[in-house]
Amino acid sequence: MSGVKIVGVGHHAPERIVDNAELETWFETSDEWITSRTGMKRRHWTSENEATSDLALAAARNALAFAKLEPSDIDAYIVATVYPDFLFPATACIVASKLGAVDKAAFDMEIACSGFIYGLTVASSLVRAGVYKRVMLIGAETLSKLVNKDDRGTAILFGDGAGAVILEASEQDSFLASELGSDGSRPELLRVAAGGSRRPLDHLALDERADRIYMEGREVFKFAVTKMIAATDAALAKAGLQKSDVDFLIPHQANKRIIDAAMKYLEIPPERCVVNIQEYGNTSAASIPIALSEAVRAGRVKPGDTVVFVGFGGGLSWGAVVWKWA
């Protein structure tokens, strides 16, 4: 077994910024409600011509520049997303080709907002097992295209963006532990009901807006707090570490109140938790790698730091990874 470390980080968000004031003109809501209930102030939304692969590509280029690597240096490309360019082919194939990486392994992963946590576990395992020397993992989403813009309960929450990491084989091992979980018994709590084989798209589905995100917010909120804490606890236990050993928590950015509740339990003070929800909203599988890229580029996360990545989302699904930054 080899070790693995992250040698490159990158992120990208579309130019267009939608702030809470703009949302006030769409339906009955207020900056006060959105800020106090979610912590969100702004989110980035794609233009009509931008797709998930475009954001992924930009984040990938940033990560390659950070690592001073060429696209051909990467052996496998993985994109975690709930809203790929197409049902198939995989968005990762499109990204790898647009980068000019020829004949490389490329595939997508779909586990909603937990995509980066699951992806980091899979990508790390590929490197640690010696299958690949370098793997690029990109979380990329264009959820503004998937929300029902008449539903104030969800339209305010989601933003678009992409974050990328490059994993490389290393003598020292940054991957300390992973805890993943799922419960698919109640998919109706958070899903897009139509457009898959259970209910292919038809006119009725479109009339019902069943092609858009539906969420039972309160139920998901309770689940999120519980699982975020449990996954972090379990991953730390697997790594043989205590809560007090954590230098940085980088959580999925779904709701500032969810993050605050977890931080309180985990006894993490605000300066050791990376929060950028005010700028991006909830970007699903992209939220953790965007936050990581910003924190590393700002010099906040430094070699030697113990970092916990923790996420949750549709599935329902959840997970945490404990990482020693190298």
Work out the angle at residue 230's Cα, subtended by the Cα atoms of residues 177 and 191, and round it to the nearest 5 degrees.
100
Whether omega before 146 lies within 30 degrees of 0, making that bond cis, reads: no
113 is a contact residue toward ligand UT7 (CB under 6 A): yes
Binding mask 120-159 for ligand UT7 (x = CB under 6 A): --------------------------------xx--x---
Q: Do the Cβ atoms of 259 and 113 come closer than 8 Å?
A: no
With CB under 6 A as the contact rule, the residue among 2, 29, 148, 170 that binds ligand UT7 is 29
Give the separation between CA 119 and CA 219, rounded to whole angstroms.
25
Q: Nearest-CA neighbor of 265 among 231, 216, 214?
A: 231
52-67 vs 91-99: helix axis angle to the nearest 10?
Answer: 50
Considering the complex, what minimum distance in angstroms separates the CB of residue 173 from ligand UT7? 30
Neighbours of 75 (CB within 10 A): 17
38 is a contact residue toward ligand UT7 (CB under 6 A): yes
Q: Do the Cβ atoms of 274 and 249 come closer than 8 Å?
A: yes
Nearer to ligand UT7, 4 or 34 (CB): 34
With CB under 6 A as the contact rule, the residue among 313, 315, 318, 320 that binds ligand UT7 is 313
Annotated catalytic residue within 12, 113, 255, 276: 113
Considering the complex, what minimum distance in angstroms separates the CB of residue 193 from ligand UT7? 16
33 is a contact residue toward ligand UT7 (CB under 6 A): yes
Nearer to ligand UT7, 142 or 174 (CB): 142
Q: Do the Cβ atoms of 307 and 158 come closer than 8 Å?
A: no
Listed in sequence order, the residues at least 6 apart from 174 whose beta carbon sits closer than 8 Å to its beta carbon are: 3, 4, 5, 6, 323, 324, 325, 326
Active site residue 62: no
Active site residue 255: no
265 is a contact residue toward ligand UT7 (CB under 6 A): no
39 is a contact residue toward ligand UT7 (CB under 6 A): no
In whole angstroms, how large is the CA radius of gyration of the chain?
19
Considering the complex, what minimum distance in angstroms separates the CB of residue 145 from ligand UT7? 16
Nearer to ligand UT7, 76 or 113 (CB): 113
37 is a contact residue toward ligand UT7 (CB under 6 A): yes
Nearer to ligand UT7, 133 or 152 (CB): 152
Considering the complex, what minimum distance in angstroms separates the CB of residue 218 from ligand UT7? 5
Active site residue 93: no
Segment near ligand UT7 (CB under 6 A); pick from 75-83, 202-210, 237-245, 252-260: 252-260
Considering the complex, what minimum distance in angstroms separates the CB of residue 221 from ligand UT7? 4
Give the separation between CA 94 and CA 72, rounded to whole angstroms.
15
217 is a contact residue toward ligand UT7 (CB under 6 A): yes
Residue nearest to ligand UT7 (CB): 217
Binding site for ligand UT7 (CB under 6 A): 29, 33-34, 37-38, 113, 152-153, 156, 217-218, 220-221, 224, 254-255, 258, 282, 284, 313
